[in-house]
């Protein structure tokens, strides 16, 4: 059976097409109009789950599709959610830890989602989620340096950055990229000290900038949120 996971983020929209339990294709859309055009070709009985961190109107999906799950704080989950304010928890964070459990069941998992914001989320070997940390992503850091100063230029992120910046542009690049890398490595070290056999899964649009530098057993999974959404969809639609 064909089913669809849709992840509506701050800067991009992704849709994953699953056949049985396998993610077959991933589509990227610039806006909701593109996503809705894509969905016009789907059967109205297609099981769909939508996660959104925006305020986009989803009423057309509710009208057009019979087997639709819109992820919210009331949605049944295949993990234990101990977050104290579940109504404020980002759907992307929740979906990512569910995806981590599906990849490494019975393990301590740390998810690093490097997107507009960088999210660090931990779920233990009993599939109990307690929370994590949120910090600014690289683009926010670059824009902040440009916006809140009089002369610093707006610099674009790069995979190539040196410890010692030999120009103002390279100094900013060093500060933001190394600062982000060291933050990530620091969180990995702290969680590893407290949890045996920690699995670290990195995802998100900026993950490629840091994956090769991070030390430890790190797994890259660009479609972690889509896979987690699919697990939540299956949990709410047992016949899938």
Catalytic positions are 92
Q: Which residue is associated with the tokens 């057009």? A: 64
Strand residue runs (E) in the chain? 2-8, 13-19, 22-29, 48-52, 68-70, 80-81, 109-114, 117-123, 128-136, 199-203, 218-220
CB 191 within 8 A of CB 183: no
Distances (CA, A) of 38 to 28, 32, 41, 60, 135: 10, 10, 6, 13, 33
Alpha-carbon gap, residue 14 to 35, rounded angstroms? 9
CA atoms of 240 and 237, how far apart (whole Å): 6
Angle, CA of 6, 71 and 69, to the nearest 5°: 75
CA gap 52, 75 in Å, rounded: 13
CA distance 72 to 147: 34
Helix axes 224-236, 91-103, angle to 10 degrees: 90
Q: How many CB atoms lie within 10 A of CB 49?
A: 29
């Amino acid at each position: 059976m064909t089913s669809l996971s849709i992840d509506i983020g701050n800067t991009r929209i992704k849709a994953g097409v699953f056949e049985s339990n396998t993610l077959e294709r991933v589509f990227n859309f610039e806006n909701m109009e593109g996503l809705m055009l894509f969905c016009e070709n789907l059967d109205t009985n297609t099981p769909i789950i939508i996660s959104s961190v925006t305020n986009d109107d989803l009423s057309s999906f509710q009208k057009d599709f019979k087997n639709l799950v819109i992820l919210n704080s009331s949605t049944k989950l295949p993990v234990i959610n101990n977050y104290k304010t579940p109504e404020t928890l980002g759907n992307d964070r929740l979906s990512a830890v569910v995806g981590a459990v599906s990849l490494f069941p019975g393990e301590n998992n740390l998810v690093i989602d490097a997107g507009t914001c960088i999210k660090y989320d931990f779920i233990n070997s009993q599939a109990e989620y307690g929370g994590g940390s949120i910090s600014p992503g690289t683009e926010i850091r670059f824009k902040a340096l440009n916006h809140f100063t009089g002369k610093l230029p707006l610099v674009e992120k790069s995979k190539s950055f040196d410890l010692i910046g030999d120009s103002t542009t390279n100094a900013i690049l060093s500060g933001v990229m190394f600062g982000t890398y060291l933050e990530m490595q620091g969180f990995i070290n702290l969680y590893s000290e407290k949890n045996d056999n920690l699995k670290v899964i990195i995802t998100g649009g900026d993950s490629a900038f840091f994956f090769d530098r991070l030390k430890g057993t790190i797994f890259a999974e660009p479609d972690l949120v889509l896979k987690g959404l699919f697990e939540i969809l299956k949990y709410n639609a047992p016949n899938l």
